[in-house]
């Protein structure tokens, strides 16, 4: 079987007319690359979590809007832009919480609006270049997050993670798992505990798979076991990713993350959020402004079970994300450094650093 770590999570095919993704719903059993040729296929892949994780969703959307734009058959800028906007608005409805989706689509749109003087064919070429840059930037940025994150750990640490914020959630390295991979390159040996992450099991299926494939000592636990492993002294740091971070540092991530942060605080274990600046939404003053996706009830009652495991007709609440209060976050690890409380200030400084010199 191919090693999952040698594959790119999202890319374009060689003819540049399809988005290629690893179908994450098939993991860990099948490593299957699929080609998405239409807007609808890209939308479905994002909605169904065939491609998932905030940065990977952003890259898929950038390539998705590029292949959509490529199909627009007109030489008129105005007609092109109108159709481009329709396609963009459609893709933006795939999932609501990960801000990288909107960030990438906005970045692609600004290529169109800044180049009104160019021909449609030239604009298409520029869109191709921008989508590729979004992908390449993701690789650079994730590596940097790992380099900053590794300064927070020591050889031999027990690390807990929730959901999958690894390579499969980005193009390469990941965010929360990047410090682990960078540590590995330095010869560090970690013991990583991964919450299974109900209901979609991104921890058990994806994080455990990629960590184990990389030779990391990996232990899967059920979500309700975080407290016992912390109490036993097995965890020295928690690393998680984020889907959207507010200006005050409140961070939305996979459902269950905020509970892990509360437990970590109880045991005095540092809880770190790792995310690129593209995951910050400074229009959200606090986590209360972040829209939380709700998903179908069947994910809770039926998925993964041989038989339905809850009575027919019972109510189900299935929010896909929750928000961790900034007071429970020891630091937010970004490509420009580590933000610490007071977050409003430290986050502003990271953006200023980015404006001085981009990675
Ligand atoms: O629903 P998912 O699997 O897309 O949720 C993913 C997460 O919550 C990740 O932790 C987050 O997107 C960060 S990925 C680097």
C-alpha separations of 183 from 163, 180, 336, 357 in Å: 20, 5, 18, 26
Q: Given this model, what pLDDT does residue 1 score?
A: 61
The verdict on 27 and 58 lying in the same domain is yes
Q: Given this model, what pLDDT does residue 10 score?
A: 97
C-alpha separations of 151 from 163, 212, 273 in Å: 22, 23, 14
The verdict on 179 and 255 lying in the same domain is yes
Residue 219 bridge partners (DSSP): 193
The verdict on 58 and 160 lying in the same domain is no
Query: Which residue in 241, 281, 245 sits closest to 257, CA to CA?
Result: 241
Which runs of E-coded beta strand occur in the chain? 10-12, 19-22, 33-36, 158-161, 191-195, 217-221, 237-240, 244-245, 251-254, 271-274, 321-324, 331-334, 337-339
* Domain boundary pick from 142, 170, 191: 142
For the chain, the domain total comes to 2
* Domain boundary pick from 142, 169, 197: 142
The verdict on 294 and 174 lying in the same domain is yes
The verdict on 259 and 341 lying in the same domain is yes
For ligand 1, what atom is nearest to the CA of residue 320?
Answer: 1
* Strands 251-254, 244-245: pairing kind: antiparallel
For every residue of 5-40, DSSP letters joined together read GGS-SEEE-TTSSSEEEE-GGGTTT---EEEE-SHH
Q: With 0-12 CB in 10 A as exposed, 13-18 as middle and 19+ as buried, what is 226?
A: buried
Tell me which residue range forms the domain holding 67: 4-142
**pLDDT tens by residue, 275-300:** 999 999 999 999 999 999 999 999 99
CATH code for position 59? 1.20.120.420
Q: Is 243 a catalytic residue?
A: yes
The verdict on 340 and 227 lying in the same domain is yes
The verdict on 188 and 291 lying in the same domain is yes
Q: Given this model, what pLDDT does residue 108 score?
A: 98
**CA-CA-CA-CA dihedral for 199, 4, 194, 172, to nearest 10:** -100
Q: Whose CA is nearest to atom 8 of ligand 1?
A: 254
CATH code for position 207? 3.40.50.10470
The verdict on 136 and 151 lying in the same domain is no
- Ligand 1 centroid distance, CA of 243 (Å): 6
**pLDDT tens by residue, 106-121:** 999 999 999 999 999 9
Q: Given this model, what pLDDT does residue 93 score?
A: 98
* Other beta carbons less than 10 A from residue 304's beta carbon: 12
**pLDDT tens by residue, 318-344:** 999 999 999 999 999 999 999 999 999
- Ligand 1 centroid distance, CA of 78 (Å): 36
Residue 155 predicted with pLDDT over 90:
yes
The verdict on 79 and 93 lying in the same domain is yes
Q: Given this model, what pLDDT does residue 118 score?
A: 98
The verdict on 41 and 98 lying in the same domain is yes
Please list every protein residue whose CB sits less than 6 Å from any atom of ligand 1.
Answer: 49, 52-55, 98, 163, 165, 169-170, 174-175, 202, 241-243, 253-254, 320
Q: Give the helix, strand, coil percentages of the chain, each rounded to 5.
A: 45, 15, 40
The verdict on 103 and 196 lying in the same domain is no
Considering only CA atoms, give the Rg of the chain.
Answer: 20
Q: Given this model, what pLDDT does residue 2 score?
A: 73
The verdict on 124 and 152 lying in the same domain is no
> CA 172, 177, 178, 180 torsion: positive or negative?
negative
Choose which residue among 49, 95, 98, 170 to substitute to test ligand 1 binding: the one with the highest number of ligand atoms within 8 A of its C-beta: 98
For range 125-136, the mean pLDDT: 98
Q: What is the band of 80 on the pLDDT scale with cuts at 50, 70, 90?
A: very high
Residue 158 predicted with pLDDT over 80:
yes
* Domain boundary pick from 142, 177, 203: 142
Q: What is the band of 347 on the pLDDT scale with cuts at 50, 70, 90?
A: very high
Residue ranges of the alpha helices (H) in 71-167? 77-91, 99-113, 120-149
Q: Whose CA is nearest to atom 15 of ligand 1?
A: 165
Residue 238 predicted with pLDDT over 90:
yes
**pLDDT tens by residue, 173-232:** 999 999 999 999 999 999 999 999 999 999 999 999 999 999 999 999 999 999 999 999
């Amino acid at each position: 079987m191919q090693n999952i770590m040698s594959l790119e999570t999202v890319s374009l095919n060689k003819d540049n007319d399809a988005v290629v993704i690893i179908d994450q719903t098939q993991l860990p059993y099948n490593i299957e690359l699929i080609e998405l040729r239409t807007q609808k296929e890209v939308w479905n892949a994002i909605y169904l979590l065939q491609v998932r994780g905030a940065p990977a969703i952003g890259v898929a959307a950038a390539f998705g809007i590029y292949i959509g734009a490529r199909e627009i058959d007109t030489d008129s800028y105005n007609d092109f832009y109108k159709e481009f906007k329709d396609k963009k608005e459609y893709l933006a409805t795939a999932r609501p919480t990960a801000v990288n989706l909107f960030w990438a689509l906005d970045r692609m749109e600004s290529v169109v609006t800044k180049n009104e003087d160019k021909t449609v064919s030239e604009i298409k070429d520029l869109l191709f270049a921008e989508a590729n840059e979004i992908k390449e930037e993701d690789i650079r940025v994730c590596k940097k997050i790992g380099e900053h994150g590794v300064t927070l750990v020591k050889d031999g640490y027990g690390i807990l993670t929730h959901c999958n914020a690894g390579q499969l959630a980005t193009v390469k390295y990941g965010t929360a798992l990047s410090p682990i991979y960078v540590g590995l390159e330095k010869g560090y040996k970690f013991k990583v505990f991964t919450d299974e992450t109900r209901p979609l099991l991104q921890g058990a299926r994806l994080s455990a798979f990629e960590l184990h494939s990389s030779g990391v000592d990996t232990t899967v636990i059920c979500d309700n076991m975080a407290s016992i492993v912390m109490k036993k002294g097995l965890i020295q740091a928690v690393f998680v990713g984020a889907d959207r971070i507010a200006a005050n540092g409140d961070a939305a991530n996979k459902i269950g993350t905020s509970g892990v942060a509360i437990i970590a605080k109880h045991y005095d274990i540092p809880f770190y959020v790792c995310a690129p600046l593209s995951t910050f939404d400074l229009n959200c003053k606090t986590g209360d402004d972040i829209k939380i996706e709700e998903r179908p009830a069947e994910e809770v009652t039926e998925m993964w079970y041989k038989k339905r495991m809850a009575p027919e007709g019972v109510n189900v609440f299935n929010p896909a994300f929750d928000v961790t209060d900034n007071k429970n976050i020891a630091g937010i690890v970004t490509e420009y450094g580590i933000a610490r409380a007071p977050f409003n200030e430290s986050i502003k400084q990271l953006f200023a650093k980015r404006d001085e010199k981009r990675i």
